A = this chain, B = another copy of it.
Amino acid sequence: MPAVRALIFDVFGTLVDWHGSIARELRQILGPRVSDPAAFAEAWRAQYQPAMQAVRSGALPFCKLDLLHRHNLDRVLADLKLDDVDEATRQQLNLAWHRLDAWPDVAPALHRLRPHFRIAPCSNGNISLMVDLARRNDLPWDAILGAELARDYKPKPEVYLNAAAAFDCAPAEVVMVACHSSDLAAAAACGLRTAHVARPDEHGPGRGERRAETPVDHQAHDLLQLCEQLGV
């Protein structure tokens, strides 16, 4: 096996607590109008895969995740009989995805990895969303790779292969890091190495993957343990 030269990261769930952050933003922006912010967050996120599937299948041309999030938000608001939420509030709500908080191990681990490896997000989130999360959480990326560069959505092979190619790496020189087995299985099928990081509280307390459900090269309970496994 060639030496590892780069690590690329899933972001929603793996690096940032979307569930807790979106619920917090919903409470702050909608106040008592939303009775169960965690359920709203789950409902919004549940629209995520079907919306991207329209792009993956070729039914829709590529568009930024911000646009899909907005379409999904409008559906959830309609389902919850909150049609009177105005346009400015909807825009403010949609940008909640740009204000997610990272898990506490993330920034220290990325700063430990960066002297040794090229590092980038390989997310379905768009570039501006990744930039805002990086600034908010001090994530020292070399570049923003992922869906907007590849113009398609994970788990399509092009997204992983395009990220490796952007770093001038063979797939086997790159580790895909994620807390979702499906993401890692797709990366492994493209020849990338894989690291599963447990995020057992991704969907709220006790509701997340504790271990990979697919063969992986590394299994870690957080990114700092992954640093140790990689010898940095």
Contacts and interface: CB of A to CB of B under 8 A. Distances in A.
Interface in A156-196: 166-168
Number of copies: 2
A149 interface: yes
A118 interface: yes
A145 B143 CA distance: 9
A126 B149 CA distance: 12
A134 interface: yes
A165 to B, nearest CB: 9
A31 B145 CA distance: 38
Contact of A143 (B66, B118, B144, B168): B144
A223 to B, nearest CB: 21
B143 A127 contact: yes
Interface of A: 66, 118, 126-128, 130-131, 134-135, 141-145, 148-149, 166-168
